[in-house]
Structure 1
């Protein structure tokens, strides 16, 4: 997925990334988790102009849903292109936060360490 800043990340690509999250979960690290993370991706076709996803990290598994359920521990808002950079290690959560490209509501400390629960691919 060699997308640039200006390229539009499609809903199908977002769905594919979220569908693969469970396969990349570090099950040992996530074994004790029981949290909901809500993702709001800007420029979407959903309510308020966001594509929304929830990841439920519980019992060493990551389940993804499009319907918003229980109250999240953290809500993360960012552009799809920045999300793609985040999950491919082309940007760090800290850099995105400091530059205002990612907004976090809720447990900031948990959000900062969230990527540590996943075995992310390295950029080529």
Structure 2
């Protein structure tokens, strides 16, 4: 998948619900940031991918690790050009993880902002959150320690 159209068409044809987290991680690993940005230009496809990623957060949550953690995590996935920022919120409370699309009136404990390619690399286990922060690929507002440890609360694939 080296040209943008072929990559987009290949991803567009996927039934994301049938792709395992490990398969998704391998797909993301095989894509360059430029290819991911090309995919994200298709607003409908971008929305499908983001919706599936966030739906999986609830399923991949590890309640035994979260213990008594109470946190609202706001995700801002930014895009180049005229594409709108996508906002999702992950709430962890009482050993349960719920995800909602959009920005609530609640104050998040931490907000993570990053571009499409960096977001997909992060959630698929293809990039280290600490490295991304140090390289300024992710902007963190609020509880930096919580942000640095988020990966321990989710079963993230090893690509």
TM-score (norm 1): 0.90
**Hey, what does 1:107 align to over in structure 2?**
143
Query: Highest CA radius of gyration, 1 or 2?
Result: 2
5+ unaligned residues in a row in structure 1: which ranges? none
Which structure's residues are more often strand, by fraction?
1
5+ unaligned residues in a row in structure 2: which ranges? 1-23, 41-45
Aligned counterpart in structure 2 of residue 62 of structure 1, from 75, 93, 97 = 97
8 A contact 2:72–2:108 mirrored in 1: yes
State the alpha-carbon separation in 2 of the partners of residues 43 and 107 from structure 1: 24
**Secondary structure, aligned partner of 2:107:** coil
Q: How many residues align?
A: 121
Compute the displacement of 1:78 (Å).
0.5
Which structure's residues are more often helix, by fraction?
2
RMSD (Å), alpha carbons? 1.6
Compute the displacement of 1:31 (Å).
3.0
**Hey, what does 1:94 align to over in structure 2?**
130
8 A contact 1:35–1:58 mirrored in 2: yes
TM-score (norm 2): 0.71
After superposition, the C-alpha distances for 1:56-92 in whole angstroms (9 at most, x for unaligned) are 0111111111132210000000012111111121100
State the alpha-carbon separation in 2 of the partners of residues 62 and 74 from structure 1: 15
State the alpha-carbon separation in 1 of the partners of residues 95 and 116 from structure 2: 26
**Hey, what does 2:86 align to over in structure 1?**
51
**Secondary structure, aligned partner of 1:75:** strand
**Secondary structure, aligned partner of 1:120:** coil
**Hey, what does 2:32 align to over in structure 1?**
4
8 A contact 2:77–2:116 mirrored in 1: yes
